[in-house]
Amino acid sequence: MDFRLSPEEKLILETVRTFVDAELMPLERDLQEAELAGRGGEFPDEETLRRLQGKARELGLWALQVPEEYGGLGLGQQLMALITMEVHRCLVPFQFGGGADNILFAGTEEQKREYLLPTIAGERRSCFALTEPTAGSDATNIRLQAVPDGDDFVLTGEKIFITGGSEADYAIVFAVTDRERGSRGGITCFLVDRSMGFTSRPIQTMGAWSPARLAFDGVRVPRRNVLGEMGKGFELAMRWIVNGRVVIPARAVGRAQRLLEMGVDYARQRVAFGHPIGDYQAIQWMLADSEVEIEAARWLVMHAAWLQDEGIDNHHEASIAKLHGAQMVNRVADRVLQIHGGMGYTKELPIERVLRDVRVFRIYEGTDEIQKRTIAKDLLRGTAGLGRWE
């Protein structure tokens, strides 16, 4: 395994670092003020986000993982993980423009023209709609139905907790086309424009996320909008999800690293009983435990990312990274809040907000329990784990 970066990759990472320091970091104060005014969840607004993405684009940071033949940078998962860690060092929510869901590349030439290319250009926005009110972890049991009718399918049902569902102008929707076969050939993926008739309603959450409910009330979708093969939708959904299981713990590492820096600074300067609190072992252990857990998460992410770049099935390692990363950042946020005492609990510092935001890392794209289920099943089947190295 070789994690060394090429000179070109080093330059890209350096450019990201410069962008984060120059453009994102200065906005943390505005975010904190918005938070105090009760508008933290709306920061940065659409216009600011577009402006920031435009600035990043001027530096060549656009469509990072899109293959070069489609005008992107074609970055691998390892460099993307390092970039994600770097961006999440800053507490201002941001993502580079021009990203396209990995499964859109499974489209026909016509679908690529109509959906993929405008998404890469930043002109269209998608959302990924799998979860339903009665099926989350057991996504094989979704009910939203797609019934053939002439050259169309008619979609009826509901999706819930869809990230970007309020803003997207089209949805990547998973629907049942053969109830008998279920996830083994009975789920199909559709590209559904908002103009075809689905509606959305935002859901308030404890964090900055505001996913949406989507309602499909007899929405007509032309047959040519089937993404991939009929009945093969579940495989596409899993391909999308495994990617997220590397990205989320990379975000967790960035956030946790930044919080730990805050914890170290505070431990140095806060005096209690005549000494900086960093002199006390109780505080030192919180710092040390956090450092060890962050480093462990970093290498779990890099291992899962390396496997992906090598084209080796990484679902087991991605589950391990996701589970540890998500739990780790929650523990670190809680410890750093504790180190800050009463100040940690206030909205004058960003720690309580980060703690609320990262709670969802343990829930979406597979809960902690579902990651453990995957890991244990692999062990029991003997298909992965127990120190396997490729």
Ligand X SMILES: Cc1cc2nc3c(=O)[nH]c(=O)nc-3n(C[C@H](O)[C@H](O)[C@H](O)COP(=O)(O)OP(=O)(O)OC[C@H]3O[C@@H](n4cnc5c(N)ncnc54)[C@H](O)[C@@H]3O)c2cc1C
Catalytic residue positions, numbered: 365
Of all residues in this chain, which one has the CB nearest to ligand X in the complex? 136
Residues in Cβ contact with 253 at an 8 Å cutoff, skipping those fewer than 6 apart = 85, 88, 294, 297, 298, 301, 325, 329
Cβ 373 to ligand X shortest distance, Å:
5
Which is it for strands 226-227 and 212-222: parallel, antiparallel or unpaired? unpaired
Cβ 315 to ligand X shortest distance, Å:
16
CB nearer to ligand X: pick between 35 and 365: 365
Calculate the CA 381 to chain-centre distance: 29
Cβ 319 to ligand X shortest distance, Å:
13
CB nearer to ligand X: pick between 122 and 207: 207
Q: What is the spatial distance between Cα 26 and Cα 94, in angstroms, rounded to a whole number?
A: 13
Cβ 49 to ligand X shortest distance, Å:
18
Cβ 10 to ligand X shortest distance, Å:
33
Cβ 33 to ligand X shortest distance, Å:
24
Cβ 295 to ligand X shortest distance, Å:
27
CB nearer to ligand X: pick between 17 and 372: 372
CA neighbor of 179 nearest in space, from 128, 149, 150, 142: 142
CA neighbor of 95 nearest in space, from 262, 206, 247: 247
Tokens of 15: 């450019």
CB nearer to ligand X: pick between 115 and 161: 161
Lookup result for tokens 């789920």: 187
With 0-12 CB in 10 A as exposed, 13-18 as middle and 19+ as buried, what is 61?
A: buried
CB nearer to ligand X: pick between 278 and 325: 325
CB 319, CB 245: distance < 8 Å? yes
CB nearer to ligand X: pick between 83 and 172: 172
Q: What is the spatial distance between Cα 125 and Cα 276, in angstroms, rounded to a whole number?
A: 50
Tokens of 211: 């996913």
Cβ 146 to ligand X shortest distance, Å:
16
CB nearer to ligand X: pick between 305 and 370: 370
CB nearer to ligand X: pick between 70 and 364: 364
Binding footprint of ligand X on the chain (CB under 6 A) = 128-131, 136-137, 161-163, 205, 209, 211, 360, 363-365, 367, 369-370, 373
